[in-house]
Structure 1
Amino acid sequence: MAKTNEHYVSEHVKVREVGAVETHEVHQAHAPRFNRARFDYDRRNRTLEMRQQVTTFAVMIFLTFIAFGMVAAGLDKAVVLPLLILLAFVQVILQFFYFMHMSHDGHGVAKIFMISGIFLALSFVVMALYLTWLGDPLK
């Protein structure tokens, strides 16, 4: 029986041992090269995105303090309720675009679904308000 440089790892896979020189050449051919310009570009983009997320988080905390302040001040409900809803809507939009990465490319379908959901939710709220206070469905 002739001596070969092949052996079986399992019954289906045959592995051939390769010399050190050939292995090194194969790895050099497929190894990604370090690109300093690309690294610096990616680092700047990640830093900018992190800065935007921290700023957005601070704005959302500030909006929450405003909401708590309006409620704690005991302002009229007719003024506080619409402002609270507006502040909550602004916070939802900020969370979608900065924490759920909707500002990036490739999220078109997700944006359509979210806009459709917001439209349906607002439709239900408007209809509930109409039936409760403005309409008289039982007469």
Structure 2
Amino acid sequence: MKCLRIYATPDGESHFDEIELPTTKLSVHPDATPFEVTASYPASRVRITRIPAGMREVAWHKVPEPNLTVRLDGAVDYETSDGEVRHVPAGSFVLVADTHGKGHLSRHSPEAQTVIWISLPNGLDLPPA
């Protein structure tokens, strides 16, 4: 499973990449069709945010710890310090992990939006087996 990631290099510049999350097939009960599931990742907190209608741009900022954001509605365009822009529609998730450096810029769609923020102290690194 692919996950868009925003990260910072040691020189403080932010960039995008896609990381592959390993999955396994899982059935929730004996008669269910198996589906793809990732490993479990330690999370320190979950927040549900409501971004008000009309909040268009959030200035350059970074995150205090890696956050997996799950966009339930609306959309955002993220811009990294290298000038690349990515459009993230509703139903998408992004690992925002630029915890140092210049950060990123967020441009929100005009309607109100609901976003789930899952704080992942270790990012999406797999826990030791």
| Shorter-chain TM-score tier | under 0.3
Larger strand fraction of residues: 2
By relative contact order (CA 8 Å, sep 6+), the higher-ranking structure is 2
Larger helix fraction of residues: 1
User: TM-score w.r.t. structure 2 length?
Assistant: 0.21
